[in-house]
């Protein structure tokens, strides 16, 4: 059996709704690339379709599939106030006839009224999501326990909830979406890339893409740009999640620790907080290429890519920047962007 057939067979074990506008385009960024001595390209997962698109559409294809298989009528999810995941879950839940409860965690300090009401929060409200709050931003176990308690309350009301978990000890179901994305990239039959750049937060996108490529025999380096944790902490998380995905799929694929590449040089001051490098990357990408990046994920990922280019780590290389979406968050940060 070929590697492609083996990955396809492994993915076929899992229930899935095929909702994304895939395959997404791969486009050149010639002006931005020329400014940094790169042959720069972008994988447009901001074009996955539903509710402004983004990487979570691919992940939710598998979560919604699992929810349907269990007869669920309600989705529950916890994340940051301006979460792209919650916005997409609320939208896709509605598309497939489910209610959605979202738990907003206070991960970003000293936020404005705009941050609390616009961007993804506004869209969550438009989709009719039910809101809950959790005061801690760095307590995954506590946030998951809180959502579990909400689920028990819904069961008592006669609902059938499906919880999309946050913690790294949960099954990495969402990562299957990026194993499928790796398959999409390999089957696109493009000239090979020297490097791939992706934002690395929960690690499901990063781990799924990395595991998928290695399972398909593709050894392209994947750089994760840290958006929430430093490189040491994130490296351990990506390594664990990558092994978890292989185990979930029943694939005998081991990703060596040297393949887990992280860069945290633009992380400070922390998750969801802007710095000069991020602001510059967002504005330069918009003004050179007409491409919008968000302040939390893709803006930070591009800032990291440009920092690596300046340090000559990527000099002269053919680089694929994986755009994971997040555009609505721009409106929540408008008072800091202009």
H helices of the chain, in order, are 3-11, 30-35, 55-69, 84-95, 113-117, 120-126, 140-156, 176-187, 204-215, 231-249, 276-289, 298-310, 329-332, 334-337
Across the beta sheet with 39-44, the strand order is 26-28, 39-44, 318-323, 195-200, 222-226, 261-263
* DSSP structure string for 30-59: HHHHHHTT-EEEEEEGGGS-GGG--HHHHH
Give the CA count within 13 Å in the CB-facing half-sphere of 139.
Answer: 14
| Separation of alpha carbons 211 and 188, rounded Å | 18
Claim to verify: residue 63 and residue 28 sit in the same structural domain: no
Cα separation values, 146 from 5, 154, 233, Å: 40, 13, 24
pLDDT of residue 166: 86
Claim to verify: residue 191 and residue 217 sit in the same structural domain: yes
| Separation of alpha carbons 14 and 119, rounded Å | 32
Q: Of 287, 265, 320, 325, which Cα lies nearest the Cα of 85?
A: 325
Cα-atom radius of gyration of the chain, to the nearest Å? 19
Q: Please give the tally of structural domains in the chain.
A: 2
| Separation of alpha carbons 210 and 179, rounded Å | 8
| Separation of alpha carbons 179 and 59, rounded Å | 10
- Kindly state the helix (H) or strand (E) to which residue 123 belongs, with its residue range: helix 120-126
Domain final position from 164, 195, 213: 164
Domain final position from 164, 186, 201: 164
One pLDDT digit (tens) per residue for the chain, 338 residues = 799 999 999 999 999 999 999 999 999 999 999 999 999 999 999 999 999 999 999 999 999 999 999 999 999 999 999 999 999 999 999 999 999 999 999 999 999 999 999 999 999 999 999 999 999 888 999 999 999 999 999 999 999 999 999 889 999 999 999 999 999 999 998 999 999 999 999 999 999 999 999 999 999 999 999 999 999 999 999 999 999 999 999 999 999 999 999 999 999 999 999 999 999 999 999 999 999 999 999 999 999 999 999 998 898 999 999 999 999 999 999 999 99
pLDDT of residue 73: 98
Active site residues: 83
Question: What CATH number corresponds to the domain at position 285?
Answer: 3.40.50.1100
Give residue 64's Cα distance to chain centre.
Answer: 16
Claim to verify: residue 78 and residue 36 sit in the same structural domain: no
Domain final position from 164, 188, 210: 164
Claim to verify: residue 256 and residue 187 sit in the same structural domain: yes
pLDDT of residue 189: 86
| Separation of alpha carbons 220 and 11, rounded Å | 21
Give residue 74's Cα distance to chain centre.
Answer: 22
pLDDT of residue 313: 87
* Domain membership of residue 87 as a residue range: 55-164
pLDDT of residue 163: 98
Q: Specify which residues 329 forms β-bridges with.
A: none
Give residue 115's Cα distance to chain centre.
Answer: 20
Dig out the tokens for 309 from the structure: 């280019």
Q: Of 325, 320, 316, 287, which Cα lies nearest the Cα of 305?
A: 320
């Amino acid at each position: 059996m070929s590697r492609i057939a083996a990955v396809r067979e492994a993915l076929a074990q899992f229930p899935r709704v095929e909702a994304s506008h895939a395959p997404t385009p791969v486009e050149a960024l010639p002006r931005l690339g020329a400014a940094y001595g790169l042959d720069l390209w972008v994988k447009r997962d901001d074009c996955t379709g539903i509710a402004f698109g983004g990487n979570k559409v691919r992940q939710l294809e598998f979560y919604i599939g699992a929810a349907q298989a269990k007869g669920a009528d309600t989705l529950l999810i916890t994340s940051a106030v301006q979460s792209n995941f919650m916005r997409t879950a609320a939208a896709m839940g509605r598309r497939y006839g489910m209610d959605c409860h979202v738990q907003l965690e206070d991960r970003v300090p000293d936020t404005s009224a705009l941050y609390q009401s616009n961007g993804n929060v506004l869209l969550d409200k438009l989709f009719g999501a039910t809101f809950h709050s959790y005061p801690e931003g760095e307590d995954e176990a506590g946030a998951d326990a809180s959502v579990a308690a909400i689920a028990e309350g819904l069961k008592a009301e006669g609902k059938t909830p499906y919880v999309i978990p946050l913690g790294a000890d949960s099954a990495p179901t969402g990562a299957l979406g990026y194993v499928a994305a790796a398959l999409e990239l390999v089957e696109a039959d493009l000239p090979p890339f020297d490097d791939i750049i992706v934002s690395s937060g929960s690690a499901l996108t990063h781990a799924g893409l990395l595991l998928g490529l290695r399972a398909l025999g593709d050894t392209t380096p994947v750089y994760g740009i840290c958006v929430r944790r430093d490189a040491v902490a994130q490296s351990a998380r990506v390594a664990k999640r990558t092994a978890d995905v292989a185990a979930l799929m029943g694939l005998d694929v081991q990703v060596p620790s040297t393949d887990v590449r992280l860069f945290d040089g633009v992380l400070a001051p922390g998750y969801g907080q802007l710095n000069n490098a991020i602001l510059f990357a967002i504005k330069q990408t918009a003004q050179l290429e007409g491409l919008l990046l968000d302040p939390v994920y893709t803006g930070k990922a591009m800032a990291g890519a440009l920092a690596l280019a300046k340090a000559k780590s990527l000099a002269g290389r053919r680089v694929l920047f994986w755009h994971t979406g997040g555009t609505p968050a721009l409106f929540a940060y408008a008072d800091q962007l202009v």
